[in-house]
Amino acid sequence: MPENLIARLHGELSRATHIDPHSHIEPRAAAATGLADILGYHYFTELAHSAGVPRERIEGEGVAADARLDAVVAGLERFSNTVQHSWLLRIARDLYGFEDQTVTPDNWRTLDASIRQRSGEPGWADSVLEKSHIEAVFLTNDFDDPLEGFDTSRYVPCLRVDELVFHTGKPGVIDRLAATAGIDVGSAGQLTEALGRVAARFRDRGAKAAAISLPPGFRPQDVDQAAFAGSVEAVLREGLAADASHREIVSQGIFWHVARCCREQQLPFDLMIGVRRGVYPGGVFQGQDLLDGRLSLADYAELFNAFPDVIFPVSVLSHPLNHELVSFAWIFPNVLPFGHWWYANTPAVIERDLEQRLEAVPRTKLLGYYSDMYKLEFGYPKFAMYREVLARVLAKRFVVERGWSEEAAVDLGLDLLVRNPQRVFYGESD
């Protein structure tokens, strides 16, 4: 397959700007202020740790900032093959003018200095976004985030509900819910009322989605209201000590009610399915979770059926589940394949997943990509990686194999990258 065909498609795709419909950006400190903000990303700390750098050196208390950087940098050459390592080099070179071949114990201070300098320049965050072709970044906000102090049209609020659904009994959660909703939360009725108020406030503040990550064993269902009321009572009374069956019913009931709120507020509900938390407690910060493929999207059929008016952008963490995701999106109008998440966000996996999606799911339903980033800089290499894979798949599967024109192939790519995220999260506008 001619590489210059791929390059042409990639060039065309790279002329577009688009939204980034899922990230963990802190809008008041969006860009990195030094190399520590880049190398502190869990992809680097966890790979360094996996490659043998002790956790104590990476994030131990009392370890100096420079020593932490030394530790991660020392590990870099051990994972120089990974795509994550290539992200680092693209950031260093293209955003910060780094000219060495790789980041080493001897030269990282130069890179650090460049980052510190440029990040102090006015408009730097906007400049990074522009280089990344990103117009707006979706956030991941706690339910009681005040959503103030930033431009919500550029940094778009998104209601993250993991804490409400899975940690209802944790000390403080209900109190915070009551405080942010402005009502007492002492019963199931008040709990759902409070959830509704939270969702309404998010919508009022410009939120464009609700989102949750889900463990493999979760089974969404519309629980009996009396059982829900009893279980809420138990959890309110006993917190984390409440019986597991009560906690499960509360999770199911709150999850279901969030879907109702999404329907009322016309918010897409992002489902990120299949993460198992805390599998490796000895891992570094944010490097302790893994996946478990023993689930089926059939577990979610009751939900998809119950809320035909709610759009569910769905990410699966286990690569083999992509075929189910394709099949469910092929049939259910409200199921939309959503980006390439975490352990499935590497080029060869994206390529396989993408070619399956492109040949069997309506083009208007494919939500191409999101960065999942914590610092703005990562939007740049991640979207670049995605565009390259997308260009390759379009070239191979559509231009070469199906005889499409290059223009038609690019146009299809723009549906994924630009138009569909825009329409799905902002409403019919094109």
Ranges within 263-292 binding a copy of itself (CB under 8 A): 276, 279-283, 287-288, 290-292
Per-residue interface string for the shown chain with a copy of itself, residues 363-392, x marking contact by CB under 8 A:
xxx----------------------x---x
**AA letter at 139:** L
DSSP of 80-143: TTSHHHHHHHHIIIIIH---SSS--TTTHHHHHHHHHHHHTSTTHHHHHHHHHTEEEEE--B-T
Sites for a copy of itself among residues 199-238 (CB under 8 A): 216
Any contact of residue 172 with a copy of itself (CB under 8 A)?
A: no
| Number of shown-chain residues binding a copy of itself (CB under 8 A) | 78
Any contact of residue 348 with a copy of itself (CB under 8 A)?
A: yes
**AA letter at 208:** K
Any contact of residue 11 with a copy of itself (CB under 8 A)?
A: no
Any contact of residue 358 with a copy of itself (CB under 8 A)?
A: yes
CB of residue 289 vs a copy of itself: minimum separation in angstroms?
A: 8
Number of continuous H segments (helices) and E segments (strands) in the chain: 20, 10
Token couple for 361: 């799911």
Token couple for 97: 């003018």
Q: What stretch of H or E contains 49?
A: helix 42-50
CB of residue 280 vs a copy of itself: minimum separation in angstroms?
A: 5
Token couple for 242: 């409440």
Any contact of residue 122 with a copy of itself (CB under 8 A)?
A: no
Sites for a copy of itself among residues 15-54 (CB under 8 A): 46-47, 49-52
Q: Which stretch binds a copy of itself (CB under 8 A): 130-138, 235-243, 302-310, 367-375?
A: 302-310
Indicate if the alpha-carbon torsion angle 342, 343, 346, 351 is positive or negative. negative
DSSP of 229-293: HHHHHHHHHHGGGS-HHHHHHHHHHHHHHHHHHHHHHT--EEEEE-EETTS-TTSPTT---EE--
Any contact of residue 338 with a copy of itself (CB under 8 A)?
A: no
Any contact of residue 360 with a copy of itself (CB under 8 A)?
A: yes
Sites for a copy of itself among residues 312-331 (CB under 8 A): 318-321, 323-324, 326-331
Any contact of residue 8 with a copy of itself (CB under 8 A)?
A: no
Query: How far is the CA of 384 from the CAs of 321, 388, 393, 421, in angstroms?
Result: 25, 6, 14, 17
- Residue 13 and residue 411 in contact, taking contact as beta carbons nearer than 8 Å: no
Residue number, 262 or 384, with CB nearest to a copy of itself: 384
Sites for a copy of itself among residues 82-111 (CB under 8 A): 82-84, 86
CA distance 292 to 105: 36
Q: Which residues contact 201 (CB under 8 A, 6 or more apart)?
A: 147, 180
Residue number, 197 or 397, with CB nearest to a copy of itself: 397
Beta-bridge partner residues of 158: 209
CB of residue 360 vs a copy of itself: minimum separation in angstroms?
A: 5
CB of residue 335 vs a copy of itself: minimum separation in angstroms?
A: 8
Of positions 245, 296, 309, 407, contacts a copy of itself by CB under 8 A: 296
Residue number, 12 or 145, with CB nearest to a copy of itself: 12
CB of residue 400 vs a copy of itself: minimum separation in angstroms?
A: 7
Residue number, 145 or 289, with CB nearest to a copy of itself: 289
Q: Which stretch binds a copy of itself (CB under 8 A): 22-30, 78-86, 109-117, 193-201?
A: 78-86
Residue number, 172 or 217, with CB nearest to a copy of itself: 217
CA distance 268 to 283: 33
CA distance 277 to 292: 10
Query: How far is the CA of 320 from the CAs of 291, 293, 363, in angstroms?
Result: 12, 8, 21
Residue number, 241 or 348, with CB nearest to a copy of itself: 348
Q: What stretch of H or E contains 178?
A: helix 173-181
Residue number, 33 or 288, with CB nearest to a copy of itself: 288
CB of residue 347 vs a copy of itself: minimum separation in angstroms?
A: 6
Any contact of residue 305 with a copy of itself (CB under 8 A)?
A: yes
Beta-bridge partner residues of 316: 273
Of positions 60, 97, 189, 308, contacts a copy of itself by CB under 8 A: 308
Sites for a copy of itself among residues 51-70 (CB under 8 A): 51-52
